[in-house]
């Protein structure tokens, strides 16, 4: 059964500094990787999806995927206080939408 | 375009009581998902439908949880005889198809507290 782990559990960065979040997964057949953001009391907002090794940029959000290392990361350029939220990594196989989520990284951006 | 709508947003129950959550997906989306998100954890899939058919309910506690989508549009998730361990936010999501490079769209969730 797929296991998805995220690190760190929480992260504080200063406004404008780069924020880097990590996600490891256990199933080497995984081919569908998504990063979501969840503000307190709100639903999930998809930030970036990536399906092949390498890099995918969506605005200030960049995902890096290395399937051989079972690792996907999210980098947030010039974070703002409004980016303070929980960030969730989600993974699936067979390009399906049946996603397995990690437990999240809580990001706080100090002004 | 309206997003995924869920109600009620909040519910507080005593153990043993029942509750139903309702979800209205994005118009035209044939696939609907129910996730359970305990506090400080990631969402976990309970069940998903393609049209009115259940595709996967392997993680749905079948003795107390049930989910239906009778006309392939709106869906109801019901919990009977709730337990404190059911305290969580229940998220509904919808999509066009159940695989590919498209998006799942999530509602804001129904937060359940069982005392």
Instruction: State pLDDT tens for residues B2-52.
Output: 799 999 999 999 999 999 999 999 999 999 999 999 998 999 999 999 999
pLDDT digit string, tens, across residues A30-80: 999 999 999 998 889 999 999 999 999 999 999 999 999 999 999 999 999
Nearest to B33 by CA among B113, B105, B110: B105
Any bridge partners for residue A65, and if so which? A54, A72
The pLDDT of residue A68 is: 94
Contact call for residues A50 and A72 (beta carbons, < 8 A): yes
The pLDDT of residue A46 is: 93
Q: How far is CA A4 from the centre of its chain?
A: 11
CA distances from A67 to A51, A53, A79, B74, B102 (A): 10, 6, 27, 37, 21
Q: How far is CA B55 from the centre of its chain?
A: 14
- Interchain CB distance below 8 Å, A43 and B95: no
When the pLDDT of each residue in chain A is averaged and rounded to a whole number, the result is: 95
Q: Give yes or no for A29 touching B (CB within 8 A).
A: no
- pLDDT(B1) > 70: no
Gap between the Cα atoms of B22 and A8, Å rounded = 35
DSSP state of B51: T
Residue in A41, A95, A102 nearest the CB of B42: A102
- pLDDT(A98) > 90: no
Gap between the Cα atoms of A63 and A59, Å rounded = 11
Cβ contacts of B102 on chain A, cutoff 8 Å: 97
Q: Which residue has the tokens 């290392």?
A: A69
- Interchain CB distance below 8 Å, B56 and A98: yes
**Average pLDDT of span B47-72:** 93
Cβ contacts of A43 on chain B, cutoff 8 Å: 4, 91, 106-109
The pLDDT of residue A30 is: 92
Q: Give yes or no for B91 touching A (CB within 8 A).
A: yes
Gap between the Cα atoms of B102 and A61, Å rounded = 18
Nearest to A104 by CA among A94, A89, A91: A89
Cβ contacts of A4 on chain B, cutoff 8 Å: 42
Gap between the Cα atoms of B25 and B103, Å rounded = 13
Contact call for residues B43 and B110 (beta carbons, < 8 A): no
Phi, psi of B54 (to 5 degrees): -75, 125
Residue in B42, B56, B103 nearest the CB of A103: B42
The pLDDT of residue B72 is: 86
Interface test with B, best of A39, A43, A58, A86 (most B CBs within 10 A): A43
Q: How close B80 comes to chain A (CA, Å)? A: 25
Contact call for residues B66 and B78 (beta carbons, < 8 A): yes
Token readout for B9 is 């947003």
Cβ contacts of A44 on chain B, cutoff 8 Å: 43, 91, 93, 106
**Average pLDDT of span B58-68:** 92
The pLDDT of residue A105 is: 97
Cα of first residue to Cα of last residue in chain A, in angstroms, is 41
- pLDDT(B80) > 70: yes
pLDDT above 90: percentage of residues in chain A: 86
Contact call for residues B87 and B81 (beta carbons, < 8 A): no
């Amino acid at each position: 059964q797929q296991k998805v782990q995220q690190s760190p559990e929480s992260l504080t960065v200063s406004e404008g500094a780069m924020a880097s979040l990590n996600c490891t997964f256990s199933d080497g057949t995984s081919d569908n990787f998504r990063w979501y953001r969840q503000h307190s009391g709100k639903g999930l907002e998809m930030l970036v999806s990536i399906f092949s090794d390498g890099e995918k940029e969506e605005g200030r959000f960049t995902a890096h995927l290395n399937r051989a290392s079972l690792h996907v990361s999210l980098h947030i350029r010039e974070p703002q206080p409004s980016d303070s939220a929980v960030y969730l990594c989600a993974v699936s196989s067979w390009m399906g939408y049946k996603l397995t989520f990690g437990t999240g990284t809580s990001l706080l951006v100090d002004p | 375009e309206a997003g995924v709508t869920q109600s009620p947003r909040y519910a507080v129950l005593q153990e043993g009581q029942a509750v139903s959550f309702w979800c209205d997906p994005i118009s035209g989306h044939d696939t609907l998902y129910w996730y359970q998100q305990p506090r400080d954890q990631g969402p976990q899939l309970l069940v998903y439908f393609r049209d009115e058919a259940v595709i996967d309910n392997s993680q749905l506690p079948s003795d107390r949880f049930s989910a239906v989508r009778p006309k392939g549009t709106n869906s109801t998730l019901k919990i009977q005889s709730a337990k404190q361990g059911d305290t969580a936010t229940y998220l509904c999501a919808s999509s066009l198809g159940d695989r590919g490079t498209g998006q799942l769209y999530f509602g804001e969730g129904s937060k359940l507290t069982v005392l």
